[in-house]
Structure 1
């Protein structure tokens, strides 16, 4: 099974009112435990900061590890307009084009998140932040050392420019993260004020404060949205080295990085060269790994993991197979049936389509028993609901009873279990009954509606492996009368059609952060994102009750309250099946040439091996990769 986990952000950047608990009643006090009118080194959504002002390094960092060497990788995650199989621009901040993953390593924000806390930020370009008495204005003092790769200082004017352009012209992920930022002003070269609307929540503010900063001067003679291969200067640890468009790109560590010995960089980003390789075919990618042309890859195909990692370098120990735990944030793989096309708007249709997928047969016969049947869009997190709603959840759901499916108030929806035959007749009869209840009746070999239109479903894919895994489901759909087909397209066409919502059905995988925000959830589930090209609301869902729960999330004053609201949302989404949960994996299955060092256990809220691991020259010589 091929899974490409698209993270809304690797650095965790980041409507209808709920009856009597709408936006007007959202708490005005954010960061209640943070003193006002006093400079602080960090902010936390809920609870205390783990690291004090004088911390030396993050606990998951490895200051003793050597610097230098190289890693050649294919990427398991990407963000913004980035693509894993090609690139045609270096501008990753806009919707247009395909940028190379890890180009974000060139850039830094005012603050940064850690990999061992779900909701904390620490000063990055900023050495301190001061909250106003009303907690709507954040005053940042920039570090005097901060420099772009051009040698120019990072100024408050650069930050103000970056926020303004990314809000008005940036990729939807950036624009939405900045939605509640009302004004950004530079008081002087090092002092900056970020003023929010007053509608912001703690997670909203956290999402906005790590936006990447670019130099204003660079864009004085060019449009912000311009593509091409001019490197947009950043202040980060890496710069662009050699590249061949669509084939590979190398990021070189800067000797002159201003923060090379700051606490937040100490013991991280060890590699001198990080090379990202691009392949349009996963088999070619695997063959490159076998030869050592790629030295690190995360394997998402169970067949390959079970049968193709028996080549000589594995047998003699030069290549290692390893499984690392997954992150403690919502990670999901789901189908999206495009409700902008009326035939997919009825939840009974979506349930019927799901019944035609026999997970038990697929896992046993095609996936080597290595996968799990996901039940939730918040899989692997604390936000997955169970059983019937307890009193604390009912208190939130009851005001919405008239807008919710009655089933929400009973046991939460779970995946049906088949007989494992691949053609469970009872389930196929149930699917046929659901289609009929939704107005689609059998005429000959086809399902038709009252107007005589045939029910068609084209499953758009960009990986041949999906045809192998889901071919049996297409057969089952045909058995109940659906004119079903698989259509394989190239990466560029797939990305374009996905952005424009030009599909019947696609498979998507995402990671959300450990403290979801109204804005990030709105990208996936909110009505406002339904017709916004480039948003992640691929099903085209628009439901006032879901909007209300997302809005209610913004009122959460503690992690416990946030968890309760998320479980309520989980119940609603699972009964609606806008996003149909599919197949999940409990962790990371990784193949790597035995030439790297790393510390265990990995942190709970991230696995950026390019930052955490390091090159071990002795090991590299032993495996012939020095």
Structure 2
């Protein structure tokens, strides 16, 4: 699922700009939805890279996305688990975004892109030097094959959802491919530009979902190297990589080898890092960061902690409530569960005050809803009033607070009393022992599903508050592979997911909250949102003709989803906390604004010399 989230995030990131500008009527080296690209034709390299950094050495890391082993090399199919980072390292795309612009894309496989004046197509001309790992040229037929395969019946359904408004792809000649759109779109040229491209020879003759352990035939800078199943996988840099001298690749991909280790739980990862078994670790636990990132190697300066500030949208990390479950179909029940969540206490007790509260889907962007809906938002919402929660027509959603625990207007006791009233309205009454039951005598008993036991302590505080109002919440930690299977089948009551944000969201919202995705196994619509009003607002957002229309639609969409209580907002950090071996790794001097932690290190950091790595004098 990480592959889909990354692809959706890439599409969203590439659509951050310009709903007002006229599309390009000529072939250009890149594409922006409004304004001008930061980098002109023929630019040397992105500003945030060090083009003179040495090549060589090894990056040893552990994936923050995988806590289990892998059982396939195909990251695009539904069943099984692919190795971390494989999709990013092995597959090039037509366009690639920069990390210091809020939404732009430059030619990678494609040397230029032309968007039709009517916005009904985008044409890409492939670079003649582009090659797959087997030496074959990357041709228009391969791009069409990749599109047809990923939107077909054997790939994850998220791709079909993201490409729902793409009518098809045509190979106009050997190196020219045109994507046709069902309706005028400012977003789709960048959505198709982020499509991973692979060779027609990969798994030839097999249905795509049966292509499992065949090494991918991509065109990216790395290939699969040594593998020890259950322990680690190594990616090796291709010294003959076709794009190594391109400006969009210059100053990236410095490591000869990238070793990704596998650990079964967070404690094992943390202790292995402190013992020097790998070089870089992103830290999500505030307790680990504040108290447990210490020891001999930290004292000598070999290991250091770095907090790297970013300007990414907040995202909407949340407890996800699966509204497909009978007990969670009523929005009043979902709202009541949120009222029992005491974030302020958690932040003080567990997080050392280091996090900020998530408030909506689009925090830290101009899509965030504020105050009362304006006339433009109401114009979109009024025709849908019967399908929209009444609260969405009032003030923008604010998560419950417990700033004053002494039973004040925002205290926990006050919130729990509100929760009890909502549950009573929804037909849940306490039995003789105090547990809530419905008219059929069924208890309000829910299960929290996780892939590790690390979150049990935090969820335990919420669990105790729910017990006070008669709700039973049990905790279930399972292996990651089983966890992913259950998510794909929507076989859970409650789980926790970190949704990446987008400054100006687009079609990926249909994958996360659209009715069609709610019915498609393996989609990203985990809460099971199936609302004609949400579908309409997503369509209005994607099809907006102007910036003002777009903002009205995305702000109205945020109001409807947040007031539907499918998600219980958690927390976010404005920094990426990463601990790393300063004797072995060198980060670049410039930190870009819009970066994801580990992938930034993978692509732009480099290895220190052997002499520096062998001596403390080599440390900064």
TM-score by length of 2: 0.92
Is structure 2 residue 374 aligned with structure 1 residue 382?
no
Over 3 Å counting, the alpha-carbon distance change for 1:278 and 1:380 in structure 2 is farther
Distance of 1:5 and 1:232 partners within structure 2: 15
Match of 1:544 among 527, 532, 546: 532
Q: Which runs of 5+ in 1 are unaligned?
A: 15-28, 78-82
Is structure 2 residue 204 aligned with structure 1 residue 214?
no
Partner of 1:270: 254
Summarize the alignment of residues 206-605 of structure 1 with structure 2, pairs less than 5 Å apart.
206-418=190-402, 419-420=404-405, 424-444=412-432, 445-518=434-507, 520-559=508-547, 561-594=549-582, 595-605=584-594
Structure 1 runs of 4+ off > 4 angstroms? 29-32, 420-423, 558-561, 623-626
Distance of 1:5 and 1:593 partners within structure 2: 27
Cα deviation code 1:549-600 (max 9, x no counterpart): 1111012345554344322222222211111111222221111110322234
How many angstroms does 1:284 deviate by?
0.3
Over 3 Å counting, the alpha-carbon distance change for 1:5 and 1:40 in structure 2 is closer
Query: Contact (CA 8 Å) 1:148, 1:234: kept in 2 or not?
Result: yes
Is structure 2 residue 614 aligned with structure 1 residue 621?
yes
Cα deviation code 1:216-244 (max 9, x no counterpart): 12332333222433211111111111111
Summarize the alignment of residues 156-195 of structure 1 with structure 2, pairs less than 5 Å apart.
156-168=140-152, 169-195=154-180
Q: Which runs of 5+ in 2 are unaligned?
A: 13-17
Partner of 2:71: 88
Query: Contact (CA 8 Å) 1:31, 1:44: kept in 2 or not?
Result: no
Distance of 1:270 and 1:11 partners within structure 2: 24
Match of 2:119 among 103, 123, 135: 135
Distance of 2:194 and 2:3 partners within structure 1: 22
Partner of 2:15: none
Is structure 2 residue 28 aligned with structure 1 residue 12?
no
Distance of 1:527 and 1:50 partners within structure 2: 37
Query: Contact (CA 8 Å) 2:365, 2:504: kept in 1 or not?
Result: no
Query: Contact (CA 8 Å) 1:5, 1:76: kept in 2 or not?
Result: no
Over 3 Å counting, the alpha-carbon distance change for 1:6 and 1:144 in structure 2 is closer
Query: Contact (CA 8 Å) 2:23, 2:186: kept in 1 or not?
Result: no
Over 3 Å counting, the alpha-carbon distance change for 1:10 and 1:134 in structure 2 is closer
Over 3 Å counting, the alpha-carbon distance change for 1:593 and 1:382 in structure 2 is farther
How many angstroms does 1:431 deviate by?
1.4
Query: Contact (CA 8 Å) 2:45, 2:247: kept in 1 or not?
Result: yes
Return 335-344 or 396-405, whichever deviates more. Answer: 396-405
Query: Contact (CA 8 Å) 2:452, 2:477: kept in 1 or not?
Result: yes
Partner of 1:100: 83
Query: Contact (CA 8 Å) 2:119, 2:186: kept in 1 or not?
Result: no
How many angstroms does 1:75 deviate by?
2.6
Distance of 2:545 and 2:55 partners within structure 1: 42
SS in 2 for 1:322: strand
Is structure 2 residue 35 aligned with structure 1 residue 47?
yes
Partner of 1:20: none
Distance of 2:113 and 2:350 partners within structure 1: 53
Match of 2:181 among 189, 196, 211: 196
Over 3 Å counting, the alpha-carbon distance change for 1:571 and 1:616 in structure 2 is same
Distance of 1:592 and 1:347 partners within structure 2: 44
SS in 2 for 1:13: helix
Distance of 2:19 and 2:468 partners within structure 1: 55
Over 3 Å counting, the alpha-carbon distance change for 1:363 and 1:6 in structure 2 is farther
Cα deviation code 1:364-405 (max 9, x no counterpart): 122222222222133343332222223443343344334322
How many angstroms does 1:33 deviate by?
2.7
Over 3 Å counting, the alpha-carbon distance change for 1:200 and 1:344 in structure 2 is farther
Is structure 2 residue 601 aligned with structure 1 residue 609?
yes
SS in 1 for 2:187: helix
- The number of aligned residues is 601
Over 3 Å counting, the alpha-carbon distance change for 1:55 and 1:342 in structure 2 is same
Over 3 Å counting, the alpha-carbon distance change for 1:386 and 1:591 in structure 2 is same
Distance of 2:545 and 2:50 partners within structure 1: 35
Return 40-49 or 326-335, whichever deviates more. Answer: 326-335
Over 3 Å counting, the alpha-carbon distance change for 1:461 and 1:11 in structure 2 is closer
Query: Contact (CA 8 Å) 1:11, 1:112: kept in 2 or not?
Result: no
How many angstroms does 1:261 deviate by?
0.6
Distance of 1:63 and 1:570 partners within structure 2: 41
Over 3 Å counting, the alpha-carbon distance change for 1:13 and 1:417 in structure 2 is closer
Partner of 1:19: none
SS in 2 for 1:511: coil
How many angstroms does 1:337 deviate by?
1.3
Distance of 1:11 and 1:477 partners within structure 2: 34
Query: Contact (CA 8 Å) 2:90, 2:223: kept in 1 or not?
Result: yes
Aligned-pair Cα RMSD in Å:
2.4
Over 3 Å counting, the alpha-carbon distance change for 1:603 and 1:39 in structure 2 is same
Query: Contact (CA 8 Å) 2:367, 2:503: kept in 1 or not?
Result: no
